[in-house]
Every structure is written in structure tokens, then in C-alpha cells.
Structure 1
Amino acid sequence: MRHLPQLFANNRAWAARKISQTPDFFTSLCAIQEPQYLWIGCADSRVPANEIVGLAPGELFVHRNVANVVQPDDINCLSVLQYAVEILDITDVIVCGHYGCGGVQAALDAPAADPLERWISPIRKIRRNHAREIEACADSAARWRRLCELNVATQVEVLSRLPLLTKAWAAGRALNVHGWIYDLHDGLLSDLGVSVPQPGKE
């Protein structure tokens, strides 16, 4: 509790900086949001979505959870996706994982307690489906990195099959799904080359 007042102090300093840099910043921000991108990322505190892509408030619509998992029955994720596609008219959905992901590591370890175990069960399935490839990696660190990548690729596949996206594509929407990964060691993003573009625009 003793640290919480510092957060309010930080907030006031941040707001003051914004106003000094752009006097109408908050006036403009409260009028409308027009993000072009939906970011589906990990809840890890070391991966601040807006900051690592250099976008300001209002420029990136964000959904985060443990290990950037997209589950077809997750109403939280689906409602974010629906709002992004149907209301905000975004053009790009970015699934961004990161190396060193604790959720992915948990899927390599012994079973965890619920609800975490239920949440990471799709990643355990990815591990089983790619067991030969993962086990062929040089060491445990390489296996962890590869599963982080495979997890992103799988979530892109899951997203591209969701009715929300297939209906948007059928209606001619210019909408693309991308799979990226963030490296905590150097702060850089990489495109994993698993993007699913608007059908007919490959």
C-alpha cells in the first residue's frame, strides 16, 4: 500500500508532460479512438505493447493474456476482436508472443494448478503436435524459444478460422493477421512469416 501514492504521482507527472508537449492531447484523445491495429499479446509486464512499437494512446487496440492464447470460446478475446473489427474497423491483427514467456515455459513443465493449467492446455497440445521438432532442438533454451514461436503461429491459425474473421473476409474487408515475436534480450520484434492476408490479396 505504501507504494501506491507513487503511482498517482507518476500519473500526474505523465499527464503534465503530455499537456506540455501537446496542449490539446487529452481533448483530442477523448473525442475518438482510431487504431489501425489490434494487438493480441502476453500479459508479461516486460512487453509494453504501445511502447515497443512506438505508438501513442489511441493508436493500438490491445488484448493481453497469459501466453497470448486465442481460444475460440474465450468471450473476453472474442468481444475485443468483434469490437476491433466491427466498430473500430481495424486493418491488421497482430499476435505477438515473446521469448522467455512464462506461460509457454509452464507448458513445458509438470502440470500446474488450475486455472492456469486449463489455460495453457492448448500450448501443451502444440508441444505434443510438434514433439519431434521440439525435441530435436539443441537444448532446453532452444526448445523453449521454438515453442514460443510455434505458439504464435498456432494462434494466428486459430484466429484466421474464427467466424468473426471469415465473415469479415467474405464481406470484402481488408483485414490481415500477423504473427510476431518480441525478444526481451534486445527489445526487437521479428515477423515469423506466418501472416494470413485477406483472401485474394496474397
Structure 2
Amino acid sequence: MTQLPVDAAPLPIPDALVNLLERNGRWSSDIKAIGPDFFHNSANRTQEPKVLWIGCSDSRVPEGVVCDVLPGVLFTTRNIANQFKLNDDSANSVLTYAVHLKIEHVVLVGHTKCGGVEAALKYVRGIPQDPLPPSLLRWLQPLITLAQRYKAQPPNFDDAVELLVHDNIIAQYNNLLASQALHNQGVQISGPITIHGWLYDLAEGRLSQVISSYVGLEGVQD
């Protein structure tokens, strides 16, 4: 790996990132104006979130913003098309640690106009699109398999995307329920945990519940 000389001048910060740093400064000042000790207390206490949010990486669905909550409320993980795979160490590590933190609720959140869902459906229907890079194609494979049910019907693409978004929420919700992190010793550590599948409507900025149940010592309860 190439190393920079010790006396190398740092790169200038691009204007777009300068803007982010400035906005961060204003945000921090605004929070301190409301609660002067908020950041001090946050840094010196163990985090105690009650909700694990599993969502899509889409920049239009930032969980803290759409739920209007401060840092510390949501434990989060996000990826393309809000997938929860039983063989994904990243997602399962997050869930396992969330159980350790004694979270009480897990929300699996999909959203309308999901680019990952659209890409999977285009792939199945043979609709022209930019070639999917190998890593993305591998990641979307379960969703591509799920999209086969809408290969021909309904004929309207947007209608099919809406159905596939819903089905994807259900599929990942069911994967969550099958995760060992929510059963046996895990549930004994945290107590009963409610599992929810939610949908975020980009056009309205609103969340709605699609499905829910809870996992306790007796297993899954609707």
C-alpha cells in the first residue's frame, strides 16, 4: 500500500463535505441549547436503545429523521433492499448484540420505490438496465428468486414493484423470526421481543405496519 510522505499536505475538504461539517456544528449547538448535558450523558452512559431498526440503505429513509428521535433511541443496520439473511454475519451480529442490549422491538422496514426491488424485478423480466456488478447480483439473489412470482403478472411494472416490496418485507420478517438470536438463550437475556414489518411511503413520508408478532419463551406468538 502506498504511503503518503509525512509532510504531505492534507487534501482540501470538498464544498459538499464542508457543508455537512457546518450543518453538524449547527445541529450540535441546537441540541446543546435544548439539553446542555445531552452529549456528555450520552458519552458516559451505556446505550440503552429499545428498538432495533433494520432498513434499506436508501438515503431517503434515514431512520432517526423519519422517526424524529435523538441519538440513542434506535440501534440500526441498513443494507440494499433491507435484507435479513440467516447466513449474513453482519446482520446476525447486529441482532445478537441488540438482544444483548435488551432491545424490546425489532422493526424490519422496507419502502416504496426501492431501487433494489426494482433492479431484481428488471433482472427477472429482462428489462434493460445497467449490468449488475457481481457483488450486487449476489446480494440480490434471494430477492431475484422472490421476484420470479411477478415475472409476467401484473403487467404494469410499478404495480409489480409495489407487490414485491410488500413480499420482501414479509420474507425478511420471516427470516428474522427464524434467527437463533431471537430464541433460546437470547430471549431469556432480553425478555419477549416484538417483531414488526413496516413500510415507509416515500411520497407521504409516513410509516405503516405490515405485520407483527412477538417472540417469547413460548416461541413465536401472533
TM-score computed with the length of structure 1 as normaliser: 0.90
Unaligned runs of 5+ in 2: 1-13, 124-130
Separation in structure 2 between the aligned mates of residue 63 and residue 151 of structure 1, nearest angstrom: 17
1:13-32 map, 5 Å: 13-32=26-45
Residue 192, structure 1, aligned to residue 210, structure 2:
yes
Separation in structure 1 between the aligned mates of residue 163 and residue 105 of structure 2, nearest angstrom: 24
Number of matched pairs: 197
Secondary structure of 1:109's counterpart equals helix
Structural RMSD (CA): 1.8
Partner amino acid, structure 2, of 1:37 = V
**What is the deviation of 1:198?**
2.1
Secondary structure of 1:45's counterpart equals coil
Separation in structure 1 between the aligned mates of residue 16 and residue 116 of structure 2, nearest angstrom: 28
Partner amino acid, structure 2, of 1:60 = L
Q: Which residue of 2 aligns with 1:146?
A: 163
Separation in structure 2 between the aligned mates of residue 139 and residue 191 of structure 1, nearest angstrom: 25
Contact 2:99 2:187 in 1 (8 A): no
Unaligned runs of 5+ in 1: none
Residue 5, structure 1, aligned to residue 18, structure 2:
yes
Partner amino acid, structure 2, of 1:3 = A
Q: Which residue of 2 aligns with 1:118?
A: 138
Contact 1:135 1:143 in 2 (8 A): no
Partner amino acid, structure 1, of 2:76 = V
Larger radius of gyration: 2
- Identical counterparts, % of pairs: 35
Q: Which residue of 1 aligns with 2:64?
A: 50
Secondary structure of 2:195's counterpart equals strand
Secondary structure of 1:192's counterpart equals strand
**What is the deviation of 1:170?**
6.7
Higher share of residues assigned helix: 1
**What is the deviation of 1:79?**
1.1
Q: Which residue of 1 aligns with 2:93?
A: 79
**What is the deviation of 1:135?**
4.4
TM-score computed with the length of structure 2 as normaliser: 0.83
Secondary structure of 2:200's counterpart equals strand
Separation in structure 2 between the aligned mates of residue 94 and residue 54 of structure 1, nearest angstrom: 16
